[in-house]
Chain A
Amino acid sequence: MKPLCKIAAALAVGLLPLAAQAHAMLDHASPRVGSTIASAPKELLLWFTEKLEPAFSTAEVRNAQGAVVSGKAQADRSDGTELRVPLKALPPGTYTVTWRVLSVDTHRTQGSFTFSVGP
């Protein structure tokens, strides 16, 4: 279908999903964005809205002093939208997550957020 026809069709049917990928955006995370959890997690899980290119998708976690406290991020190849990041033992404190991914449609996205461990 030609591009303009595709747009016209989308308009005609009330914006039904188009047959294309979009940017891979952070859908949700565990621990949640901005949350405070009582016990330190062993890994960080990030779910994105689109499938990722594993070789070009990464994330890391730093403590308040800027030291990296995470291991190598691994994309879940069965799901395609998930990144798993192993964590060292985290003492109470605030941690910054920085992620940078490439979606299968070759769009780069990046972002950051924090979570805290503590009472």
Chain B
Amino acid sequence: MSNRYVYAGLCGLAAALVCNPARSHEIVGNRMFPATLVIDDPGVADELSLPTVALYRTGDDPSAKELDISGEYSKRITEDFAVSFSPTWTHLYAPGGPNGVGASGFQNLETTFKYRLFKNEEHEFVASVGLNIEWGGSGAQDVGADSLTTYTPTAYFGKGFGDLPASMTWAHPFALTGQVGYAIPSSSATVTVDPDSGDVDTEFNPRVLVWGASLQYSLPYLKSAVADVGLPDFVNHLIPLVEASFATPVSNTSTSGTLTTGTINPGVIYVGKEFQIGVEAMIPINRQSGTNVGVIGQIHFYLDDIFPNSLGRPLFSNSIASGRPNP
């Protein structure tokens, strides 16, 4: 097994982490969990992320600059169940791409089904489960899109700290969200034959633990539920946060290795009435996750606020929409 194959596999995982734009926002009592940029939050909502733009250097050898522009449309079928679709367009700068001169094209289309299992408003806790499907062969192989379909069952959670004792009010605006998924490729191995030499190469497709978390400090929560300390209005709409997103091959790893790849992303989200804007730095955790600090930005629309009586309602629901309590 050459290092080249290891790097290619790991870089594919890292790219998948960055490219997956499936995110949503969630309201639980006093707490609004914003749509995070890299991991998915536990929310089920009608929303649109357009665009999400990420620029970073890959973990390939040699490394190349990569630009990803993606979108995500999420539609509630019922109050607790939603389906989302996420296309991503990628541009690889030289020396990226199969011929080292760069390449452009779409990544595989992704679809996510998500169901909200549990919500407790008093304790600002929510849990959901979902299934992400990356449709193999729907993207361009020149930019690394896999020919395999990958199924990733995932669990999500969110917990606000507003129920901590009154002596810890300083901590009430904090919240933690997380996700754990298990990516299962549709085939355990990919066999290729060199047309010139006739050599057969077998690459095993690992099953991968996809996991991540975000730690948030909500200034909207501070103002509306803890203490209105007279900060400027713009500041009262900010949520500073740190996201972390990782992928760890855990089985069928004889050609991929088991190295964890991912990024740690400090940033900030501005929460408006009907949209949010977020920007984060992307700090790779090792050489195989990237060779430089990248950046990711996103504009995200709350369709349930923009179109409360049409596009922003579940297809099947008789209830009044639940709300987002914080400014």
Check A6/B306 contact, CB under 8 A, given A15-B299, A28-B228, A112-B30.
Answer: yes
- Kindly report which residue of chain A lies nearest to residue B305, judged by CB atoms: A22
Contacts of B29 in A (CB 8 A): 110-111
User: How large, as a class, is the contact surface on chain A?
Assistant: 20 to 34
Report yes or no: B305 in contact with A23, Cβ–Cβ below 8 A. yes
Report yes or no: A7 in contact with B323, Cβ–Cβ below 8 A. no
Q: Mark A22-38, 1 if CB is under 8 A from B, else 0.
A: 11111111001111000
Q: Which of A96-119 contact B (CB under 8 A)?
A: 102-103, 105-114
Question: A109's contact among B48, B50, B228, B324, by CB below 8 Å, is which?
Answer: B324
Report yes or no: A20 in contact with B274, Cβ–Cβ below 8 A. yes
Report yes or no: B273 in contact with A33, Cβ–Cβ below 8 A. no
Stretch from B206-214, B219-227, B238-246 contacting the other chain: B219-227
Report yes or no: B228 in contact with A105, Cβ–Cβ below 8 A. no
Report yes or no: A106 in contact with B30, Cβ–Cβ below 8 A. no
Contacts of B226 in A (CB 8 A): 33-34, 113
A-B residue pair count with CB separations less than 8 angstroms: 112
* Cβ of A63 under 8 Å from chain B: no
Contacts of A114 in B (CB 8 A): 166
Assembly CA distance A23 to B308 (angstroms): 9
Assembly CA distance A35 to B121 (angstroms): 24
* Cβ of B100 under 8 Å from chain A: no
Question: A113's contact among B225, B308, B309, B323, by CB below 8 Å, is which?
Answer: B225
Contacts of B305 in A (CB 8 A): 20-23, 105, 107
Check A106/B325 contact, CB under 8 A, given A20-B274, A111-B224, A111-B225.
Answer: no
Report yes or no: B308 in contact with A21, Cβ–Cβ below 8 A. yes
Contacts of B327 in A (CB 8 A): 25-27, 49
Q: List 23 A-B contacts (CB under 8 A).
A: A3-B310, A7-B306, A15-B275, A15-B277, A22-B273, A22-B302, A23-B305, A25-B323, A27-B327, A32-B227, A33-B228, A34-B169, A34-B226, A34-B229, A102-B320, A106-B320, A107-B305, A107-B320, A107-B321, A107-B324, A109-B323, A111-B326, A113-B224
Q: A7-B48, A109-B324, A112-B30 are known; give 7 further A-B pairs, CB within 8 A.
A: A25-B273, A25-B324, A32-B228, A35-B228, A106-B308, A107-B305, A107-B324
